[in-house]
Amino acid sequence: MDESEKQQVVDLEHLKILRIGYLVSAGMSAFFGLFGLIYVLMGVVFTRMPFEGGQGPPAFFGWFFAVFGFVFVAIGIGVGLLKFHTARCLQQRRSRTFCLVIAAVSCLGIPYGTLLGVLTFVVLTRPGVSRLFDGNVTAPE
């Protein structure tokens, strides 16, 4: 086995590890995004709850909490879906630019997302991996 074949095996293993990292990160993003449902519930309770003497916070506060929670859930699940799609792209070796963009977004999740994003940049900028994504090299499964 010559040096280029060894490097190709290493590149393929690194892509598999990145894929697993993005699957875990996607699950965690979606899970933590669901915590926004607490704000949605709290907002609905604020708008429906009767207060003593008829004095309470205006309904605006309840709706603000509900909308904030809904946006939080949508962003969390959306980022999770994007990371899941990135894992699929890494497996199929397509959409390298999309993977790099999601790696940049992933860097915002300190500390593990940053590590995943930086490692994605390191792996995807290698010439051998770039050729895998371009389709110039056929990789064994």
Q: Does position 138 have pLDDT exceeding 70, yes or no?
A: no
Q: In angstroms, rounded to a whole number, what is the distance separating the alpha carbons of residues 17 and 119?
A: 10
Residue 139 lies in a domain: no
Residue 44 lies in a domain: yes
Residue for token pair 């009767």: 50
- The predicted pLDDT at position 67 comes to 95
- The predicted pLDDT at position 81 comes to 97
Q: Does position 136 have pLDDT exceeding 70, yes or no?
A: no
Q: Does position 97 have pLDDT exceeding 80, yes or no?
A: yes
Q: Long-range contacts for 87-93 (Cβ within 8 Å, ≥24 apart)?
A: 87/19, 87/20, 87/22, 87/23, 87/26, 90/15, 90/18, 90/19, 90/22, 91/15, 91/19, 93/15, 93/132, 93/133, 93/135, 93/139
Residue 72 lies in a domain: yes
User: Tens digit of pLDDT for each residue in 43-59?
Assistant: 998 888 777 766 767 77
Count structural domains, the chain: 1
Q: How confident is the model at residue 134 (pLDDT cuts 50, 70, 90)?
A: confident
- The predicted pLDDT at position 64 comes to 92
Residue 118 lies in a domain: yes
Residue 140 lies in a domain: no
Domain residue limits at 22: 3-134
